Every structure is written in structure tokens, then in C-alpha cells.
Structure 1
Amino acid sequence: MTKHLILLVALSSAAPSWGQEATKFDRSVMSAENFEARIPRPAQDKVAEEKLAALKEKTSKRPNILWLVVDDMGFGDPGCFGGGTLAGASTPNIDRLAAEGLRLTSCYSQQTCTPTRSAILTGRLPIRTGLTRPILAGDKITANPWADEVSLPKLLSDAGYFTLLTGKWHVGEAEGMRPHDVGFDEFYGYYPAQKEISQRVDVRRFPGLVLNPERLAAFEAVGPTDYLTHGFKGGETKELQQIQSTEDMSKADQVLTEFTVEQIKKLAAGDKPFFIEHCFMKVHCDNFAHPEYAGKSEAKYPYKDAVHEVDSHVGDILQTLADAGVLDNTLVFFTSDNGPQMDGWPDAGYTPFRGAKGTTWEGGVRIPGIAYWKGMIAPGRTSDGLFDLMDLFGVGLTLAGVSTDKLPAERYYDFVDQTSFLLAADGQSKREAVYFWWGKELMACRMKEYKVHVKVVMSQAPHMHIDLATVHDVGLAPWFFNLYLDPKEEMTVGHRLDPWMVTVLGKLKAHGATLKKYPPKDIGL
């Protein structure tokens, strides 16, 4: 038995029950057996409650919620996270959002898009829902993972919100798995990622597919739809414009942004609060520059032009909120669904960290996170407190006044309600640890500034973190990093330099043990 496994067997750091004094290192406590432990912050919780109550009295309605989710943007792409002009694409609107809100420097996603997109809507890790990787052409799903899940848009819709998803979905397009089947009142967008659509018409990159009628017909038989789709709760679904060229693909985000802008104008004038998840198609490869944005970035490359375009659309959406008079009653959260897809380089983003999309190194899962709310979130804040994108699920419930009693008791929930972290002027994170999975493999855990790996993804060539990479056990001892000393995860501190390795391993073990009582789903992926 390897040394790190011996340590795991010897130690359990399961959090104490609610009301007991937390250990000095692990501050989290359990509020219920089936919820992730969280750090008690009663003072800041009271501040958040008072701010929300005062706002409701002023506006007589629940606050709006807007998520802006970019596809495959790297941590270092926005200027406010070290990129911008330095990385060849200025991002003035995203930078302004950060300057006037809360910049989260330890914000985490899953390592690929489908797992992240499902996790933020269910508050549950992908290992629990079965959505452990993207659903690709030819996949045979054996069960609908959404059939027994309770999604955030459903809970918010039931609570009186109008719920809309604009843009990329990528969490299933079969009947029963579409956005308007799982809780959204309306869907306007595309089911798959850009490349899965554009490869049908991109003769320069995919001549073996585009110029071979037989193979193209075979792909069309199993591939995802290439239509802009408009769906409504209840099942009504319309296929609108088909993507017939790379220029059509280049204009998709403009079309989607125009739709969101018009919806905000209409919804702001209505009686219902709204929840909008606006998911950009860009900057997932393959990127094709919109004619109006081609060459507008400093770098002039298609990826950089795409970043510049996304930034422009962020500005358009924020200006619409301001013009509609709802900026001070809308929580805006900007982020990416995972790290950059370096396998598409140079059509790929920038991260200062090791690894990229498809890995559980920081480069794959540490992403930009910005929370903005005029008058509610103090401007100019920066925090390195842990924030998992699943925590948006808990924030959404709180803002909508939805009790966790609405959630099935037989399920385990991994989100932490971070509302007070965002709203209190000196708010601190209530999350003690973030857990990282690759498919069905438990890989790593971050706790405070420490990160322990028991399995790692190793690239076998530069930038090849998916198509030419392997998963390895770490060997005699876990790989234990202090991310404040070594954010690139290049040199372990191990037990020779730091006493907390065993404690963080115990946290990881306690997390793994939750899968025994609350077993994962298998949907055939």
C-alpha cells in the first residue's frame, strides 16, 4: 500500500457537526449530513440578510440574477487578471466590472465544460449527476441525468422568476435534456460548442469531413444540431437559422447578445424578477472573427479578436441593465466554464498556471470570477477566498428566497451558500475546500492555500493536455503544493516543509466517503 493511502486510512478529518467547535485548521462544520460543510460566518450573514431585506423593501421584488459565462477563457485573458493588452486583447468592460465589484482570484470550475455547466445548475459535482464529460457525437446516453435532478432554473421559475438561457448549452439535446425541459422558461441558442458546428463547413481545417460526402452524411447522422434553436418550457422548439459557413459562426455571439439585450429591456419593464444565464459561444475553438471585430485586438489573431468581441458584448449587456434602470437590483457574475483549451493553440487562451482545460492542475480549473452588484457589492474588492462555481447555486436560492427544504433529502449537495461572502463589505469565504475530479477519478483537493494531488494528468507534448495526455497515480507520496509559494505547482512542499499534508488528505478522504452513502449516477459516459 502506498504511503499516501496509508495516511488516508489512518486519518479521517470529517468535519464536526453543526454547533460543535470546529478544529483550528478545518473551520468548516456540517449543517446537515447531505450538505458540504461550510465555515460559519454569522456576523456577515446578518449583514447580507439586512442588505437584502432593505433592497426588497425598496424595490418590492426579488433581485435579478445574470450570469455571463464565457467558453474556455483562460484565467489570464482579462486585463484585470493579468492579461488584457499584455496578452494581446484589451478587455476594458470586463476590467471595469472587476474594478467596480469583487474580483475572485481563487474561483474554480470543473475541468471541462459539460461538468461545469451541469454543476452550477444542480449544486452537485458531476460525479454525482453522471455528467462527467462533454456529450460528443456518437455517444449513447443510457439514462437521462436530468430526470431526477432539481435544477436552479426550475426552483427559481417555481418561485416566480422568469428563467432564460441564451447561448451555448452542451448538457444534452435529446428531449428531456434540453434547457427548456430541465427548468428554463426559454432557451435561445445552440446545443453544442462552436467547433462541433463549424467543422461541418470549415474546409481548411476539416477537409476530410467537408469534402467527403459519405463521411459528412455519417457525421450528420450522429452529430449535434447546427441550428440556432428557440425553445420554450412545455416542449415547443423551433429551429431557426442554420450555420452554413464559418462567417455565420463568427456572427453567432452578436445574434445571441442582441437577443439577451432585447429580453432584458422587456423583462425589466415587467413584474417578474429574471434569471438569465448568458453563455457565449466564443472563445471555444475554432474561433472565426466577426467581420466588425477582425483585427481589432492588439494581437490580430482570431482568438484574441474573439476575446475583444466578448468584452464588447459584456459592455452592451451591462449598459442595457443600466438603461433599463435595473443595475442596482441585479447580481451580475462573470466567469469562464474552465481553463483555456491549449490543444487548439494558437486558437487558445492564456493562463499563468500549470495545465489547461482537461486537467485538474490550476490551469484547467482556476478561472476568472467577478461578482458585480451596484450598491450591494462594495467596489474595488479583491479576495483570494475559495469560491466554486457550484456556489452560485446557493447564492441563487438565497436571492430568490428558496429554502433548501425544496431539495431532495436523499441527494448530496456540494455547493456552499456564499451570499454573505459577496455582499458583506469585508466578506470572507465560507468554503474550506474545493475538490477536483477527472471523470470518475478523485484527483485533488485545495484547502486554504494548499493543494494535494493523489492523481495527476500529464501532458505528453506541449499544449496537448487532452489529446496527448495520460492520468497517473502520484506514487509513494501525494503531491502537496503551497499555492502561495508555488502557484504553478512545480515543486512540492510535502511533509518536509509543511505539517498540513495529512490534514488536507483527510479532508479529501472525508469527501470521497460521501460517495458511499450517496452513490454516483452512471449515464453511460
Structure 2
Amino acid sequence: MHRSFPLVLTLLSSLVSGHADPLVTSWQIGISGQYARIYGTDADEAAGNYATTWNRGQGVQELPTYAGVSEVAVTTTDVYVRATGLAGHIMGPWYGNEARTNLFGNWPSNRALLYRIPRNPGNPPTSKQATGLGRIGLFVDGVAMFDSRDAFSYDTSAGEDERPRSGAGINGDDVWNRDAYVNEGVTFDRGNAHQAGGTHHYHANPPGLRHLLGDSVDYDPDTNRYTENFNGHHSPILGWVRDGYPVYGPYGYSDPDDPASPVARMRSGYRARSITQRTRLPAHAARLQGFTPAGDTAEYVLPDGTGGTEDLRGPGVTPGAGSQYEIGHYIEDYEYLGDVGQVPGVEFDLDEHNGRFCVTPDFPEGTYAYFVSIEADGTPKFPYNIGPSYFGNPTASTATTIPAGAEIVFEGGPESRLSSGSISTGQQSGDVTVTWSVVEGGSYLVERSADLEDWQVIPALSEDRTLIARDPGALQENSRQFYRSRLIEVAPFDENGFDIDLTLGPSGGNNILLLILDDWGIDWSPLDSPGNARVPDMPNLQFLAANGLHFTNACAQATCSPTRATILTGRHPFRHGIGSPAGASLPETEFTLPEAFESAASGYALFSIGKWHLGGGVDGARSRGGWPSFAGAAANLTDYWAWDKIVDGTTTPVTDTYATTDQVDDALDFIRDQPGGTPWFCWVGFHAPHTPIHAPPPGLLPADTSPTASNRDRFEQMLEALDTEIGRLLQDVDLAQTNILLVGDNGTPNNLLQAPFSNGHGKGTLYEGGTRVTLVATGPDVPARGTNDNPVQVADLYPTILSLAGIDVSRVAPAGTIIDGRDLYPALAGGQVSGCTVSEAFGNGISSPGRAIREGDFKLLVLDDPADSLDIPSFELYNIVDDPDEQNELLSQAGGPDAGQEAAYQSLLAKNQALGGGFGEVPGVDRSVTLSFQLQSPNAQGQNVPPLINANNGNIVRPRAITVGGAAATWDESINGTGTAASRIDATGAPDRFWITFNFDPVAAGFDQAGREGPHPVTVTFPGAGGTTRVYSAVSSYNYTP
């Protein structure tokens, strides 16, 4: 029979329900949490191949970002809206010509907009203000609203239009202004939008937005086409103009005062003029431009503009078929019907601003409202969104901050709430499937419970904006089940302009205990190698794993000091500089874990115990590590019963206490001394089982242990004694309030190595036997149980520990600090983590320096000394899953790597190069890239970019110098097929005076180094008159991307 059960799912209203102001409630929030996406080309559109990252012209989106509105806030006087300015429908493709062969120069990008709109428009002025260029309002999806012009106009003196890249000497009069839809419509996408720079905007009817709002527009996703299909309903609010009045879609009540009247398409108050010459302005333009009208026209007479029939011009020349500028080319080609004797409300509906006073579903008492103008088939109709002037006072503007005390009524983007929960069950199987609409790029923890007390993590898959959790046989276990879900991680995205506070991980307040075991590889771990002949008895380790999460693919550095420095900083060895234990000295400039706790004012008590081994003498743990308190040894021990102990800079000889016991004693004293309610973080760096190999105190060993002189026996006993002491420590730890992380610092020494590794692949090497370690996590903030097979690394412990303490490292680390580690909290919560792992070995005492990178099943060894500029690197590739001892090198196998292995090799090579650090660089290799940049014109001296050909002498104009961030570039000095400089072409290869194309080696310039990625200005020097030079800057900068 069919069983029913409750679904626990909190669905909150996206906007505060108490607000009745349409300016607050009309924003299109249904797309919030969705990535912005584009079709770059017609081919992409036909294949349905949208992109969430892109780069063209001034539209650079290197990381995904969220479409639409991300925040709405309200004060008594204003509404504040945060938005990326990117539409929720798929944008693009854009072309620069009718044949659709030349891509439009700029694609959109996140505008990081904060916009303020007045809640009370006030009294409309008698003297109306022209709309002007740029943003004249905001659509409800956060996209900019532009007016009907395209920013260019007729130049009477030149006898032609100013247009993009007109060059010197052509400057429009701003009297006859070009119509954007007519002149630039070819560059619009299917949603009637394109870009100015990177600013995506609508000039006219936005069908993509209207479809999302249910405003009489159908959409075919297979063709990415929109079709007008009137549904009989009043249009919704599409946007808000700077004067605080709404813009509706094209449909309103036929009687402006009667909501019961039929809904009809609003009739524009403009029509094309019946003129044969453009010698007089229409009355509405004359009024707006300040010319005195005579009758119903303006006494503003233009020159007739004759200049040759081969170049017919608009003003002053009879328009008509065959004319370059037919009627409609300029917005002054339209006349307002109220100026020519027609009656509003009878022969047309909308005034010269393209609005009217009327009642609407949102304003039942009436308001002034603008309406979008279209033909019956949806074709945009002049004046499109609003007329050439505002009805009210245009006081809305961009803002820098939301005022203190403002009420936040909506938060979206990555902060969007779970919604649209649904559930389905299998009647026979008892399977349950639960789905949610979620944040794109988010990772979620899904749990189920039969009693709302004991919760169990179940697998879940998030794809695009849908989270699916399948729970096989759940109803066979219990007929009553509850499900809950929460966001635990958001993938990296372009956060520019967002004001987010995502509490994704623990809120902090629980204790943190880090246990580091020295020289303990997975071959001596009962968790990782239970079938080995020699397996130490470690019941406390197994207790932690049974009550937590065991990472089966964890890697450390090849030796102890690099691992400790990596955990302490979250950075790879090539960044913190410690590649071996010999002379290891952590730079004081590194931002360490305890410094992050202190910077965050976390309230945690901090203590480091045991092995330091990172330099700085007796005070190194404080001066270099940032620990407020330390008790332990500066480096390795020579005797576990006789050693020099440092306590906060003071050295005292120890002659009567076993080192492992002393370290646990110190940890217990620290824990017991903490006042109630004070959380603590304790780092315990055990020396065991590092040399000297010895027989531990018998009282710490299993009862049946026999004396032995074998190093292997004693190594096993050292691990068992260590486990006993860990058990003693755990007895005094409140496990309900303490998160515990246990990890090895490197692999087993070669003389003690056992299966699955062979001699020569142990400690000090980059092979698995030298870097694979056991990692276990347990505690109140680790709901996951069992194993996790994701490759993880010791660098990940830095952000993970901070996350467990409720600290966001991005908010406390110094600006520019690169943290290589990944927060493992999503895995601790039952999810997955992705990315590659990195181990490095270099410096004194390292016989085979290099780097190991693992991703998925494959691992690349880059055997190279980055400090030796003449060292020729060698490479080894292994499938770690099939070949854990790395005996079958794939690059040198007979026949070479297969297609899958070659793809993995190339991917890992690219990751190695992107990481930087100098590993794998072949001396003398050219790493140049070809770059194309658009130049600003004019330059700082007001000079325009030189033409391709000098008009005075016919010489080809070539650059004299090109620099990127001050570093010299090279360029093609030859002449192309059009007889112009080969370097003066755009990205498509077309000759263009305003573009420069050149070659540049960013690695040789040092831009691959941390903190030097950019942005870097691009400058081009051209020869000037009389031996002078002229220097121009590019409109955008160069950022190094590996």
C-alpha cells in the first residue's frame, strides 16, 4: 500500500509580507540564485551550449556570477537595489553586422550595481528634463534601462552622422539623434539587449524579461526565440524610471480609470513624420532642446547637407527609398500626436513621455505609469520604453552604501533560500526522492530522521538549481520520515558588488583538537592498511574513525617541517618557502593559524604542544608561528626520556618523563585550566613514532607485548603507546563539544616501509609511500560518518580549522594572501570536495626535488629543482588507483599514454603551470601569448589614435613600443594583406586603428608570481610629428591567467 509521511521543509516568503509598496515588492527575484549565462555565438545557441564565464572586449566574466537582483533594502524615503545588471534569461548572441559574421565588440559583465530609487516621486516639474544617455532606470531583473537613442547624432559641419570610431573631426550636434533600435538593433540579442562597455541594457521591449514575468510572451528554448502571445492580462511592472514611476509592459486597462475594462495594447502617442526634408525639428524635440517653435514646428533650419549623391545624408536631404537615412533613423523623425491635433484617450493612449495616469493591479488608487510600446507582433515601436523626457523628477541614482538602519527585505544570489520542496515515493520499494530549488553552485547537506532527534546524512546531488536526494528503502525502515537540507558551501563566484554574510559552516564555539603523528604513513595504519602483516593495535584511533569521517586519499608533504608549515599557513611550500626540514625557518610574514584566531577576535584559547621544527630558536613558535603559548621541543628528539623542553621561550631539561606522556600531560593541563564557556584550540605535534626508534614504557603497551630489539617491532609499539596516550587525552575531552582532527605528517621512513609501498618510495620522496597519510575527523560539527574518497591535502586543514571555529579566512587574512587549502567542511557534513592535491620537496637534503599533483585517479610527478635555472625537468604519470606503488609509469610505456591518460597528463601539466613556483619550466621555452586590446582615443594630450595610413605622406603607421605593466611586448612588424600594419588588427584579425595585437610573455615578466597577477596597464607608443611620440592606454588592463 502507499505510505505517506511528512516532509519537513521551511519555505519562507522571499520578500517581507508586510510591504504593500510595489517599488519594494515588484523586483524579479525568481531568478535569484541562478548563474548569469550567455550564448556566445549562433552555433552555441543552436546547440544549447550556454556559458557562465566569458571574455570579450570590456565584458569579462572570469568566474560565474548570479543573475538579477541580490538584495532589496528599504528606508522611509528610498528603496535600494543590489544587482549584477545581468539578465535571468540567457543573454546573447550579439553580432555587429546583419550577416552575423562579426561578433559584437563587448559582452556583458557584473556591474556591481547599488541603485537608489525614491519612494515618493514628489510633484512632477512643469519643465521636463530630457532622459539623457546611460542608465535612465532599472528593470526589475536589475538590467539597465536606456532611452531610445544610441549616443550618436548628425554632424552638420561634417555632413554626416557621428558613429562608433568616426575618428577626429566628426562630432554630432546632439540635435538629430540616432534611434538605437533602428541603428543598433542588429547588435541586439533575442531579448532586445546589448552592451555599452560591459553594461547590459534594454533600449526597447524586453521579451526575455517579460516571458519570465508571464507577460504575454512565449519562449522556445530549442531556438531561443520569443513570440508575442497576448494572454488577456494586464502587464506587470517591468522596471522603474529614475523619477520613481513604474514602467509596465505593453498591456493596460482600456479605460485608464476602470480596472473592469478590457485589457488592451497601449497605443503610442508618436508616429513617423510625413516629411520630405529634415529641415525642421518636430515640436516635442524643439521644446526639449530649447528652440522656439513656430506653429507646430521649430524654427531650426539645418543646412541642406548636399555633398554628393554617392553619400546621401539625413538632415536636409529628401528621405525615402534608397536614402541612407530613411525616416525613423533619428528620434526626431517622429512627431507627438498631441502636437498635431489628435486627442489622447481617443486616438492614442500614451502621452509624450510614453505614460499616462491610470489604475493598475499594483496601484488600484491610480498612479502615473509608463508603458512599453510594441506592434501587435511584439516588434518594438517608438518611443519603446519611455519618451525623450521624464514625466517626474529624475532623482534616482547609484549609491555606495545602504544606510544604517535600512530594512533588508530580500537577500538573494548565493543567499537565496531553499524553495519548491517536493517529494515522491515508490509504493513497492519504499524509496523516497526529495527535491528542492537551490542556489546554483551550492553544496548541500541533506539529513533524514524518523523522530526529529537522531539525524542521518543521506547522499544528495545538486545540478544547476535543483537538489535531489534519493533515499532507497526509507519507508521500509520507518513509515514516518522527516527530511531537512542546508547550504554548506558555495563554489567560487564573482562576488563584486555583493554584500553577503553566508554562515555555511559551524558557527564556532566548539573546541578544536589537532593531533599530528610524526613519520606515520598509511602502510602502518589499521584504517588504511588493515590487511598488512604488521598492523599496530590502535583502538582509540579506530574509535575516532568509527564516530567520524576517515579520508582515504589524504596527502601530506614528503617531510615533517613542510607539512607543519603548510598546516600552519594553508599554503603550498613554494609559497611559505619550507621544502625540507634542513634549516627550516618559517618567515615571520606568514599569516598563521593562531594569528587568524587572534585577528578574528575569536575568543578561543590557543596552545601549541610538542614538535615545532620551524626555526626561530626557543621563541620560534611565538615569533614565527604566532602562538601565544608553546610547550615542546624546537626540533626532533635524540632521546624520548632526556630532552630539552621549551615553555614560552624558557628551556628546561627533561630527564624523567616519556616525551609522548609529557605532551599529553601538557594538553590535559591546558584543557583543564580553561574557564567554563571558553572554547579552545590545541595543536599537539607528537614526536612519535619518529626516530630514535625505541621500546616505549611497558605500561602503555598491550598486556601481551613481548620485549624486542627489532626496529619494526618497536616502531609498531611506539604507535601503540601513542594510541594509549591519545586515549588518556580523550578521557578528559568533552567529545560532545570538541572537534578532533588526527593526521600523519608524512609517509613512513624507507627502512620501515611496508605494503603496498616498495623501498625507495617512502618518506622524503614524492611517491605515495612518502606523502599518503591517515586523516580522521570527528566531533559535533562532523555529522558525516564512514569514509570519504576525495583527494585532500594537509593545506586544507588551515581553512577547515578556521571554519570549525566560525572564522572566514577571507575576512581576516591580509589583502593579497593566497590560501591554497580548501575548506573541508562540506565533506565533514557529508558532501564532497573537489580539486587537486599538491606535495612539494626542495632545498637542502632533498635528493629528488619536485612537485606531485594529483587529480582524480592520476598523479603527475614534476621532478625539477626550481632553484636551478639549468635543471631540465622530467615528468612521470601514474594511475594511483590502479597502481598505488607507482611502478607503471604511463608516459614511457610502450606506445605511450592512451587518449584518457594523455588528457589527464595535459590537464595536470596545465595545473602545474597555473600554480606557479617554477617547477617544470624548461630553460629557454617561450611562453608568449597573443593579446588584443582596444586603445583609448584621444590620449591624455587630447590626440586621437593615429590612422592606419598617414594621410600626409602615405606611410604605414606602426607602433614604436608596447608595454604591459611596464614590461616590453613584441609585435609583428610586417604588413598585412590590406596594406596596413599587421599589429594594428582587432581580435578577429580585421584592420582597426583603435586596436593593437601583440605577443607577450607574462611568466618572463614575473606575472605568475603571487601578488603580481594584475591588473597591469597596457600602453602603446606611436611616432609623432617632428620626432615626438604619442602614448595611448588600452581601455582595459591585463590580468595574468595561467
Aligned-pair CA distance for 1:397: 2.0
Give runs of aligned pairs for residues 242-261 of structure 1, distance below 5 A.
Answer: 242-243=654-655, 248=656, 251-261=658-668
Task: Give the corresponding residue for 2:589.
Answer: 148
Give runs of aligned pairs for residues 259-270 of structure 1, distance below 5 A.
Answer: 259-267=666-674, 269-270=675-676
Task: Give the corresponding residue for 2:608.
Answer: 165
Deviation string for 1:18-44 (max 9, x for gaps)?
3179xxxxxxxxxxxxxxxxx954334
Task: Give the corresponding residue for 1:385.
Answer: 790
Task: Give the corresponding residue for 2:862.
Answer: 454
Give runs of aligned pairs for residues 3-42 of structure 1, distance below 5 A.
Answer: 17-19=62-64, 41-42=442-443
Equivalent residue in structure 1 for 2:736, among 328, 332, 355: 328
**CA, structure 1 residues 302+54, in 2 after alignment: closer, same or farther (shift >3 Å)?**
closer
Aligned-pair CA distance for 1:119: 0.7
- Taking the aligned partners of 1:364 and 1:179, their CA distance within structure 2 comes to 29
- Taking the aligned partners of 2:861 and 2:540, their CA distance within structure 1 comes to 36
Task: Give the corresponding residue for 2:444.
Answer: 43
**CA, structure 1 residues 198+313, in 2 after alignment: closer, same or farther (shift >3 Å)?**
closer
Aligned-pair CA distance for 1:395: 1.1
Residues 1:316 and 2:733 aligned together: no
Task: Give the corresponding residue for 1:438.
Answer: 841
8 Å CA contact 2:588, 2:623 repeated in 1: no
Task: Give the corresponding residue for 1:204.
Answer: none
- Taking the aligned partners of 1:304 and 1:51, their CA distance within structure 2 comes to 45
8 Å CA contact 1:153, 1:163 repeated in 2: yes
Aligned-pair CA distance for 1:67: 0.6
8 Å CA contact 1:104, 1:382 repeated in 2: yes
CA RMSD, Structure 1 to Structure 2 (Å): 3.4
8 Å CA contact 1:103, 1:383 repeated in 2: yes
Task: Give the corresponding residue for 2:646.
Answer: 229
Larger strand percent = 2
Equivalent residue in structure 2 for 1:482, among 875, 879, 889: 879
Equivalent residue in structure 2 for 1:292, among 662, 677, 698: 698
Give runs of aligned pairs for residues 187-202 of structure 1, distance below 5 A.
Answer: 187-195=630-638
> More deviation in 149-158 or 403-412?
403-412
Aligned-pair CA distance for 1:402: 2.6
Task: Give the corresponding residue for 1:131.
Answer: 578
Residues 1:305 and 2:717 aligned together: yes
**CA, structure 1 residues 518+115, in 2 after alignment: closer, same or farther (shift >3 Å)?**
farther
Equivalent residue in structure 2 for 1:105, among 552, 555, 567: 552
Residues 1:279 and 2:685 aligned together: yes
Aligned-pair CA distance for 1:292: 2.4
Equivalent residue in structure 1 for 2:801, among 396, 412, 418: 396
Matching residue's letter, 2:621: R
Equivalent residue in structure 2 for 1:419, among 807, 825, 831: 825
- Taking the aligned partners of 2:789 and 2:851, their CA distance within structure 1 comes to 22
Matching residue's letter, 2:578: L
Aligned-pair CA distance for 1:125: 1.3
8 Å CA contact 2:567, 2:795 repeated in 1: yes
Aligned-pair CA distance for 1:192: 0.9
Deviation string for 1:214-233 (max 9, x for gaps)?
xxxxxxxxxxxx411211xx
8 Å CA contact 1:130, 1:520 repeated in 2: no
Deviation string for 1:258-312 (max 9, x for gaps)?
2212322232x43321111111111001122233258747685221110101111
Deviation string for 1:92-133 (max 9, x for gaps)?
111121121111111111111110001101111121112221
% identity of equivalent residues: 25
**CA, structure 1 residues 54+357, in 2 after alignment: closer, same or farther (shift >3 Å)?**
closer
- Taking the aligned partners of 1:71 and 1:410, their CA distance within structure 2 comes to 32
Matching residue's letter, 1:502: Q
- Taking the aligned partners of 2:727 and 2:515, their CA distance within structure 1 comes to 11
**CA, structure 1 residues 104+228, in 2 after alignment: closer, same or farther (shift >3 Å)?**
same
Matching residue's letter, 1:483: I
Task: Give the corresponding residue for 2:519.
Answer: 72
Aligned-pair CA distance for 1:389: 0.9
Matching residue's letter, 2:877: F
**CA, structure 1 residues 513+190, in 2 after alignment: closer, same or farther (shift >3 Å)?**
closer
Matching residue's letter, 2:538: T
Task: Give the corresponding residue for 2:626.
Answer: 183
**Unpaired segments ≥5 residues, structure 1:** 1-15, 22-38, 202-225, 232-236, 458-471
Task: Give the corresponding residue for 2:254.
Answer: none
- Taking the aligned partners of 1:114 and 1:513, their CA distance within structure 2 comes to 19
Matching residue's letter, 1:489: E
Matching residue's letter, 1:291: P
Aligned-pair CA distance for 1:456: 8.0
Secondary structure of the residue that 1:111 maps to in structure 2?
coil
Residues 1:508 and 2:912 aligned together: yes
**CA, structure 1 residues 239+510, in 2 after alignment: closer, same or farther (shift >3 Å)?**
same
Aligned-pair CA distance for 1:439: 1.0
**Unpaired segments ≥5 residues, structure 2:** 1-60, 67-439, 446-484, 490-500, 844-848, 866-870, 892-896, 919-1002, 1012-1042
- Taking the aligned partners of 1:179 and 1:353, their CA distance within structure 2 comes to 38
- Taking the aligned partners of 2:863 and 2:506, their CA distance within structure 1 comes to 46
Give runs of aligned pairs for residues 311-390 of structure 1, distance below 5 A.
Answer: 311-321=723-733, 326-342=734-750, 345=751, 348=752, 350=754, 352-354=756-758, 355-374=761-780, 376-379=782-785, 381-390=786-795
Aligned-pair CA distance for 1:238: 2.5
Aligned-pair CA distance for 1:176: 5.5
Aligned-pair CA distance for 1:517: 3.9
Larger helix percent = 1
Higher Cα radius of gyration? 2
Q: Which has the higher contact order (CA 8 A, sep 6+)?
A: 1
- Taking the aligned partners of 1:53 and 1:402, their CA distance within structure 2 comes to 11
8 Å CA contact 2:850, 2:861 repeated in 1: no
Task: Give the corresponding residue for 1:496.
Answer: 898
8 Å CA contact 1:84, 1:91 repeated in 2: no
- Taking the aligned partners of 1:418 and 1:55, their CA distance within structure 2 comes to 12
- Taking the aligned partners of 1:313 and 1:47, their CA distance within structure 2 comes to 38
Secondary structure of the residue that 2:617 maps to in structure 1?
coil
Secondary structure of the residue that 2:620 maps to in structure 1?
coil
- Taking the aligned partners of 1:486 and 1:20, their CA distance within structure 2 comes to 40
What TM-score results when the alignment is normalised by the length of structure 1? 0.71
> More deviation in 44-53 or 297-306?
44-53
- Taking the aligned partners of 2:443 and 2:803, their CA distance within structure 1 comes to 15
Secondary structure of the residue that 1:359 maps to in structure 2?
coil
Give runs of aligned pairs for residues 202-213 of structure 1, distance below 5 A.
Answer: none
